[in-house]
């Protein structure tokens, strides 16, 4: 009788108990896996967003710096107004063409970086930079500034006389003293996440060599 009781006390889990335990373990593992997958997706989304915005901001900074130098080192026009460097006939709300005597070594503007056009290429969703004197030997060069862009636009602010309130236009003039550059960035779609909206980055660029801006110093 004592032996029978000892065997009964050493008996293992029943089939039902094992099934319940395994079910609970599977539920816990499933929950942990789901949470881990969501965390990875969120991290991927935020990492992609950060990379895209960082690259776009860097590109916008480059464009802003070059546009700000528009007209640098150019001769004063015959009417006494400084040249803001913008090529009005080739500039619009989607493209900007400007010149500057960056090297300050001659008056022919044939050095690299002295005759630049920025424009948007919808076929590749890219911002392109065209340098008429790209290699310094009179041969032009085009380069991609950044990809995954949905739009690039320019807005021109004209100042007349001593009036500090500018008029806004989609094309530049000899009175343009400031340019607003707007870039819309396409964020990458992440599986399992709602498609993100484009992000807009804006930079207001003062043309330091414009007649109005020179009068402020």
Give me the pLDDT at residue 22, please.
Answer: 82
The segment with the largest mean pLDDT, out of 2-6, 54-58, 114-118, 195-199, is 114-118
Between 137 and 142, whose confidence is greater?
Answer: 142
pLDDT tier, 164 (very low <50, low <70, confident <90, very high otherwise): confident
pLDDT at 205 over 90: yes
The model's pTM is: 0.74
Each residue's pLDDT tens digit, 57-109: 999 999 999 999 998 888 766 665 668 999 999 999 999 999 998 876 666 78
Per-residue tokens: 150: 């949905």
């Amino acid at each position: 009788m004592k032996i029978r009781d000892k065997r009964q006390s050493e008996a293992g889990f029943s089939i039902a108990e094992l099934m319940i335990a395994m079910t609970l373990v599977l539920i816990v593992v499933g929950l942990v896996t789901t949470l881990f997958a969501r965390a990875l997706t969120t991290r991927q989304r935020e990492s992609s967003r950060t990379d895209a915005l960082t690259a776009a901001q860097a590109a916008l900074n480059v464009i802003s710096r070059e546009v700000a130098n528009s007209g640098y080192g150019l001769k004063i026009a015959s009417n006494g107004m400084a040249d803001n460097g913008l090529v009005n006939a080739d500039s619009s709300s989607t493209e900007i063409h400007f010149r500057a005597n960056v090297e300050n070594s001659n008056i022919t503007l044939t050095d690299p970086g002295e005759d630049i056009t920025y424009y948007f290429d919808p076929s590749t969703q890219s911002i392109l930079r065209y340098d008429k004197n790209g290699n310094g030997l009179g041969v032009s060069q085009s380069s991609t500034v950044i990809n995954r862009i949905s739009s690039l636009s320019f807005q021109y602010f004209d100042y007349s006389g001593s009036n500090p309130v500018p008029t806004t236009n989609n094309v530049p003039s000899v009175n343009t003293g400031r340019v607003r550059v707007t870039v819309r960035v396409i964020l990458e779609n992440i599986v399992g996440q709602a498609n993100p909206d484009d992000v807009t980055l804006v930079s207001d660029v003062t043309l330091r060599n414009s007649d109005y801006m020179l009068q402020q110093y």
